[in-house]
Structure formats: C-alpha cells, structure tokens
Amino acid sequence: MVESNITTRAKDYAKWYQDVIAAAQLAEPAEVVRGCMVVRPHGWAVWEKIQAELDRRFKETGHQNAAFPLLIPLSFLQKEAQHATGFAMECAVVTHAGLKTVDGKIQLKGELEEPYVVRPTSETIIGHFFAKWIDSYRDLPLLINQWCNVMRWELRTRLFLRTGEFWWQEGHTAHASHEEAQEEVQRMLHIYRDVYENVLAIPVTLGAKTANERFAGAHETFCVEAMMQDGKALQGATSHDLGQNFGKAFNITFQNKSGQREFVWQTSWGASTRMIGALIMAHSDDNGLVLPPRVAPIHVAIVPIWKTDSERAAVVEAAHNLARDLRDDGLIVKVDDREELKPGAKYFEWERKGVPLRLELGPRDLAAGTALSKTRIGDKKEPLSLSALGSEVGRTLDTMQKALFERALAFRQSNTLEVDSWADFEAVFAGAGSKFVYAHWDGTTETELAIKEATKATIRCLPLEGHGPAPSSGRCIKTGKPSARRVLFSKNY
RNA sequence: CGGGGCGUGGCGCAGCCUGGCUAGCGCGCUUCCUUGGGGUGGAAGAGGUCGGAGGUUCAAAUCCUCUCGCCCCGACCA
C-alpha cells in the first residue's frame, strides 16, 4: 500500500507536491491523454465535500443548477473579440464525426461543416440561450450555475493546479442593471471567501485584477488569492463583472419597465478542482496530506490493536461500537480492522491520506475505558474517555479546524510585508523566493510587465477595502511615478 | 511551443556509452508461518511484446529515424 516516500518541502517543493498527491492517492496523470488527470476516489471525495459546501451557498443565494453542451460552435467564440483571442490558443476543436475502417485501420469519417470547440468556459453558449430566455425585466435576474468539466489545452500542466481538463462550477447571471450585477459579483466573491476561510481553513485576500490579468471579455475581474507554503500566491476563485460585453455579442436584451430594450448586465464566477491544490499546498506537511475536518472524506480512523484472538474480538467489537456512536454524531468514521497490517503501518497510511483524527483502541485502552487520540497536526497522543468521546471528538475536530486556519494566517502574516525600495523588492523575489509584498505601482501595464520581467512577481490584485494596508499615496516601486495605493505583488501558480 | 531530463514487471531503479546465452535488483503483490501500542521477520511463488512505429544488423533494451507521454525551467493560463 505504500505508494512512495515523500520528498521534503525543503528539498524539492514541486516534487513534494506530487509526492503528497501520489501518497494520498488523490490523483495521477492520465498518461494516455495529454495533460489530463485521473482524479482517484480519495481526491474526488474531497472535491465532493467542496462541491457540497459551494453548492449549498449558491442555492441559498437563489441560484439554480443547469447543464449546457460540452461542445460550442466555433462561430460563437468569435462573437466576443476579447474573449476569442483570450482563449484561442487553448481550445481543443472537434472537426469530425464518425469513424470508418479502411484496411483494418480506423480513420476519420465525416468532416463537420462548422467545427465545435470543447468548452474552455461557457459564456458564449450560455449567452446564446440567455438571449432566448430573457425578454422582459421580469425574467431578471437570471441566476444559473453549472457543474461541469472544461478543457484548456495547456502547454504545461500540474496536477490540480493546471490540467488540460478540469472540473469546476461556472456561475452565469444576467441582471437588469450594472449595480445589481456588481452586487452579484461581490456576493459570490464573498461566498468563495467564506468557503476558503471557514471550510478549507485558508485565509484569502480579496481584490480586483489589473487590466492585464483580467478575464478575457470581462469588464472587471475580482479574485481570492491564497498564500501557499512557498510564499507564492494561488488564485483560488474568480468573479467577473462582464458588463454588457456578452449581452451585446449575443444580443441578450430585455424590455425595461418603460418598454425600452436594454442589453442585460452579466456576471460569471468560477472555482475549480484547483481548490484541492490550494488545500494541499496550504496545509500539508512532509508526512503527507493534511485535511481540515470540514473537507475530510474521513474524519476519524479507528485503529484497533490486539495480540491474541480474544483481544482481537474484543477491540474490534469495541471499535465498531465506537464508530457507530461517532456516526450518530454525524462523523464519517473508518474502522481499520485489516489483519495483514501492523498498527504502525496503518498510522502512516491514514496520515498520508490526511485523516484529521486517529483513535487507537487496544486492550489497555479498553481496560481503562479510554481511546488514544492523535490529530493529524498534533505531536502527541491523548487518552479520551470512551463515555464522553462524541463531544470530545467533535471539540477536537473544531479545534483542529481553527488551528489550521490560524496557522495558515500566521504564516501569511509573517510572509507579508510592505516594500518601498526596488532593491528590497528584488531581494524578496530573488531566486525561488516569494512573499506577499504590498508596494506602490504607477498603474500602467508597461510597469506591471517590466516588474514581472525583472522579478517574476506579478500583481495578484488590487486589494479590496479591509484587505492589505490602508490606502496611502506614494511612489511606484519601479518607476518612482506617483501612486495612489499599494497593490499586492507575488509570484504565483 | 523553446531548453533540459526521463520512459525497462504495480512502484523505484541497474543494464545502453562499447549490440551477443534465459533482461537483473530493491520495494510492493500472492500463499503459508511468524509478528502486532509508529513502516515485523522468514519461506515459497506470480508478474516484463524494455513507451510505440520504422530502420541498420546474423543478432537490438542497447545504434539510427520518427512518434507518444511524463517531470523540471521558460513564454501562455484557473
């Protein structure tokens, strides 16, 4: 069952990341399909937990799920110029339908008159149907979400962070006014924040993207940015104000109360299986995956310990009784009563898989009326009374959930700084180094690109109020020109 | 897509430079025994068209050409 030893973070961070994924059996490269991944059951189970948390919040805010075609007519993509150029290089295209056998070999058969693009995102095809569905202000707002896979022909892939195919949700909404759309953009951004901070236990910085980093076709793009353990930023989710760009491209109009035709104001927002990558790089350690209890597919692993057959019968029965009690409290519990493995081997396995809490139950514990507990992030084992175990376990998991967030927050704080000199700025990003740096910027794309060229650091966002330092004027870190505010710089995934 | 590395039982590798018997090793796997509170020990087994195609040769894992895929660095991106 041991899949591999895990390289330490200090030795090779990229290798460590892959090792954690392999050791926890989260996913693996699809191998026979370029750039794609197989999400293994344990990885998909984590995704299902994340999905459930997001989906509940979407529905609580009035959104409905629907499904749109995987294939998009090529011509649709061309209707919004920015959008088309933004995604042109990453599109996989379906040009044929059907196969034929010639001399025992399979060949392509019918060439399509109009090729289809495998969806890299669905603004265009959803826009087409919105145009059909919307006719009156009474049809608005239209609040739709889709859970699906998309394909982007990436040149360089990394499991969960960037793969040819990935799974996500994409929300698409249409509104009668820009203000209403803008509210929606912020509402969803804050849902992402809520899930990141309260479920994934990852603190995030909310902000707006620069024009250069904006979604292709958007009026404005907002994001949540998280810090990984190597000091790099990871964009965790995005929420776009599409303005009327797609409304005009797809002629999505409605009659307002005074009978006039207007283009709708739209938003789109998405979060993907990349969240699992964020989870790994924010919390995991050199022993493998660490999962916050709220996204753990298994909360508690119970390892019964025995020597003799009679001991075995007693502890295994006690373990199953214990599991039943904990399940009654809503916990997901695994009793590892496999006979072929020594207890130590089981400890390592559940640790690699990120199970938050382990309970050891042996003859000595039974005699004492306790179970020995160890959390995935604690360094010592603690005996818990069996009679009060339910509440104890619940409390321990809550504490761990909070501790993970606090640990990640403290890490981010200790790796965030304000920088005012170019020499200091370069020093932070020298070599493989990265932190969150708040620095002044003159607001031009030229400077943004020059800084990236020189340091590999990019502007992750223009933080929203309450995120990052309070606004203050200063001079651009690179050009010395006047600047009204500091922006967040970091290297990124 | 450019530069670099790699592809040999499930995993990690040796062999390749300098072609030559039945392609080895460690881990894992199967069966049995043993062991059991942090990766038990032993015995006997199973498992490989050497990524794929073509070529050179009496003979190819090894040399040549093409191709597919993975990893790292870069440019592009969630």
DSSP string, A293-338: GGG-S-SEEEEE--SSHHHHHHHHHHHHHHHHHHHHTT--EEE---
What is the rounded CA–CA span in Å between residue A322 and residue A403?
26
A358 compared with A31, residue with greater pLDDT: A358
Model confidence at A1, pLDDT cuts 50, 70, 90, reads: very low
Can you give the C-alpha Rg of chain A in angstroms? 26
Flag whether pLDDT at A5 surpasses 80: no
Our measurement of CA A163 to C1' B51, in angstroms, reads 22
Q: Of A146, A181, A124, nearest to A64 (Cα)?
A: A146
Least confident range of A101-105, A142-146, A420-424: A101-105
**A339 or A367, higher pLDDT:** A367
Smallest Cα–C1' distance to nucleotide B12: which residue has it? A4
Nucleotide nearest to A367 (CA to C1'): B37
| Residue A261 reports pLDDT greater than 60 | yes
Question: Is the pLDDT reported for residue A110 higher than 90?
Answer: no
Question: Dihedral of the CA atoms A224, A228, A233, A238 (nearest 10)?
Answer: -30
* Structural domains for chain A: 13-71+120-283 (3.30.930.10), 298-395 (3.40.50.800), 416-490 (3.30.110.30)
Average pLDDT, chain A: 93
DSSP A86-151: HHGGG--EEEEEEEEEETTEEEEEEEEEEEEEEPS--HHHHHHHHHHH--BGGG-SEEEEEEEEEE
Q: Are A154 and A163 in contact (CB under 8 A)?
A: yes
Whole-number distance in Å between A180 CA and B27 C1': 61
Q: How far is the CA of A254 from the C1' of B75 (A)?
A: 43
Distance from residue A156's CA to nucleotide B50's C1', rounded to whole Å: 28
Integer angstrom CA distances of residue A366 from A248, A316, A317, A373, A481: 71, 11, 11, 13, 72
Q: What pLDDT was estimated at residue A59?
A: 98
Over residues A397-417, the pLDDT tens digits come to 999 999 999 999 999 999 999
Name the nt closest to A13 by C-alpha to C1'.
Answer: B72
| pLDDT at residue A382, as a whole number | 93
Q: State which nucleotides on strand B lie below 7 Å from a protein beta carbon.
A: 1-2, 11-12, 27-30, 35-40, 68-78
Residue whose token pair is 């087409």: A128
Q: Which of the two residues, A372 and A431, has the higher pLDDT score?
A: A372
- Report the pLDDT value the prediction gives residue A79, as an integer from 0 to 100: 92
Report whether pLDDT(A3) > 70.
no
Q: State the Cα–Cα distance between residues A279 and A258, nearest whole angstrom.
A: 50
Q: Residue A107 — pLDDT band, cuts 50, 70, 90?
A: confident
Average pLDDT over residues A360-379: 94
- Is the predicted pLDDT of residue A2 greater than 70, yes or no? no
Our measurement of CA A340 to C1' B31, in angstroms, reads 13
Name the nucleotide nearest A366; use CA and C1': B37
- Rounded, the Å distance between the CA of A1 and C1' of B44 is 22
- Name the residue closest to the C1' of B7 by its CA: A31
The closest nt to A221, taking CA to C1', is B78
CB neighbours (10 Å) of residue A330? Answer: 9
Confidence band for A4, pLDDT divided at 50, 70 and 90: very low
In whole angstroms, give the CA distance from residue A215 to residue A242.
9
Read off the tokens for A209. 């993207």
> Which pLDDT value is given to residue A103?
67
pLDDT band for position A99 (cuts 50, 70, 90): confident
How distant is C1' of B63 from CA of A125, in Å? 54
